[in-house]
């Protein structure tokens, strides 16, 4: 049982970090970023190239992943999403744009990095092993790093000037604008940060699970689910959602294994029932 809980916690930490970037972009711009998973994959491939192929230190690779994605995110906001939001009658239209950029990233990644699953050497070797609990050291390291990043993100949002501005923006766009917040600038920063988080988590996880060009879509969908559980557009919700989903998978796969292929059926059905009872997730904004 200790093993199951440890698995769940580790899974939760990585899920939470994936969900954070998505929920940030959603909170600021009401954009459901279908390309989030593709950004994660791109971050993974950049770390793969810099750390795995060029042999530079892992930290450099992680920085490269984060920075590249931040730039891409900023450009996407400025030249794509801003334009479409301005010209569109219904803000859901950005979903089509997001999906189109997801396809675009898929195509580019497949052309550049090929169709194969890729992996990099372990960052830390060895396995932590006691009676009831086995956990490889690199998983512990990645889990800890994920928690550090989550904490840093929360502190940044809470206490820095841009962080406060973004929170104001998320709460009420019009009011924030009236209070003198440079809405466009902070939307761009927020989008860049969301993309950067995706890139960093991609770079982190490539050391454990590798990366391949096709997993972007499924990762986006998983991230959507976590965000829905916790409540869309709320940082705490994304973290809670990530941990809850991680724990449900870990416990469910152990408890329900006798019954065959039903674990995910049960998880999904539970999610539907839960959301019918609490239409805004655990702590979401009323108007998703």
Regarding 236 and contact with another protein (CB under 8 A), the answer is no
249 binds another protein (CB under 8 A): yes
| Closest to another protein by CB, 90 or 161 | 90
Q: How far is CA 123 from the centre of its chain?
A: 22
User: Which CB atom, from 162 or from 209, has the smaller least distance to another protein?
Assistant: 209
Cα dihedral across residues 233, 239, 242, 245: positive or negative? negative
The string over 245-260, giving b where at least 16 C-beta atoms fall within 10 Å of a residue's C-beta and e elsewhere, is: bbbbbbbbeeebeeee
Measured between alpha carbons, how far is 121 from 138 in angstroms, rounded to an integer? 11
Binding to another protein (CB under 8 A): which residues in 106-125? 106-108, 110-111, 114-122
Q: Phi/psi class of residue 212: alpha, beta or left (left: φ > 0; alpha: ψ in -120 to 50)?
A: beta
SS3 annotation, 40-78: HHHHHHHHHHHHHHCCCCHHHHHHHHHHHHHHHHHHHHH
80-109: which residues touch another protein (CB under 8 A)?
80, 83-84, 87-90, 92-93, 95-97, 99-101, 103-104, 106-108
Q: Which residue in 47, 75, 6 sits closest to 211, CA to CA?
A: 47
In the bound state with another protein, the residue whose beta carbon lies nearer, of 43 and 163, is 43
| Positions 143 through 202 that interact with another protein (CB under 8 A) | none
- Residue 221 sits in the site that holds another protein (CB under 8 A): yes
* Min separation Cβ 151 and another protein, Å: 22
CB of 137 to another protein, least distance (A): 10
Q: Which residues contact 256 (CB under 8 A, 6 or more apart)?
A: 262, 263, 266
Token representation of residue 63:
């920085």
Min separation Cβ 160 and another protein, Å: 27
- 39 belongs to the binding site for another protein (CB under 8 A): no
Give the number of residues in contact with another protein, rule: CB under 8 A.
91
140: contact with another protein by CB under 8 A: no
The residue range among 65-73, 77-85, 158-166, 193-201 that interacts with another protein, by the rule CB under 8 A, is 77-85
The residue written with tokens 């108007």 in the block is 287
Evaluated on CA atoms 29, 30, 35, 40, the torsion sign reads positive
Q: Give 32 or 69: the residue with its C-beta nearer to another protein.
A: 32
Judged by CB under 8 A, the stretch of 63-71, 152-160, 165-173, 205-213 that binds another protein is 205-213
| Cα R_g (the chain), whole angstroms | 19
User: How many DSSP H helices and E strands does the chain contain?
Assistant: 12, 2
Shortest separation between residue 88's beta carbon and another protein, angstroms: 4
Please report whether residue 65 would count as binding another protein according to CB under 8 A: no
Q: Which part of the chain contacts another protein (CB under 8 A), choosing from 150-158, 179-187, 234-242, 277-285?
A: 277-285
Residue number with CB closer to another protein (159 or 287): 287
Helix axes 2-29, 36-47, angle to 10 degrees: 120
Q: How far is the CB of 265 from another protein (least distance, A)?
A: 4
Residue 136 interacts with another protein (CB under 8 A): yes or no: yes
């Amino acid at each position: 049982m200790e093993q199951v809980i440890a698995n769940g916690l580790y899974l939760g930490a990585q899920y939470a970090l994936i969900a954070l970037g998505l929920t940030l972009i959603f909170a600021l711009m009401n954009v459901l970023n279908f390309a989030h998973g593709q950004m994660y994959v791109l971050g993974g491939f950049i770390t793969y190239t810099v750390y795995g192929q060029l042999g530079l230190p892992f930290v450099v690779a992680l920085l490269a992943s984060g920075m590249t994605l931040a730039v891409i995110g900023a450009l996407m906001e400025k030249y794509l999403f801003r334009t479409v939001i301005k010209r569109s009658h219904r803000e859901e239209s950005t979903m089509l744009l997001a999906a189109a950029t997801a396809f675009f990233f898929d195509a580019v990644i497949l052309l550049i990095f090929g169709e194969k699953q890729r992996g990099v050497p372990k960052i830390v070797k060895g396995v932590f092993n006691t009676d009831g609990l086995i956990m490889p050291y690199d998983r512990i390291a990645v889990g800890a790093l994920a928690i550090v990043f989550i904490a840093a993100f929360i502190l940044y949002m809470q206490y820095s000037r841009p962080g406060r501005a973004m929170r104001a923006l998320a709460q009420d766009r019009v009011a924030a604008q009236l209070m003198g917040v440079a809405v466009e600038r902070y939307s761009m920063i927020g989008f860049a940060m969301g993309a950067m988080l995706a890139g960093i988590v991609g770079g982190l996880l490539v050391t454990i699970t590798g990366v391949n060009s096709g997993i972007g879509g499924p990762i986006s969908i998983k991230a959507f689910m976590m965000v829905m559980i916790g409540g869309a557009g709320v940082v705490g919700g994304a973290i809670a959602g990530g941990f809850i989903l991680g724990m449900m998978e870990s416990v469910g796969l152990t408890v329900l294994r006798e019954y065959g292929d039903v674990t995910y059926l049960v998880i999904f059905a539970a999610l539907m029932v839960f959301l019918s009872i609490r239409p805004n997730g655990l702590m979401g904004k009323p108007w998703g």
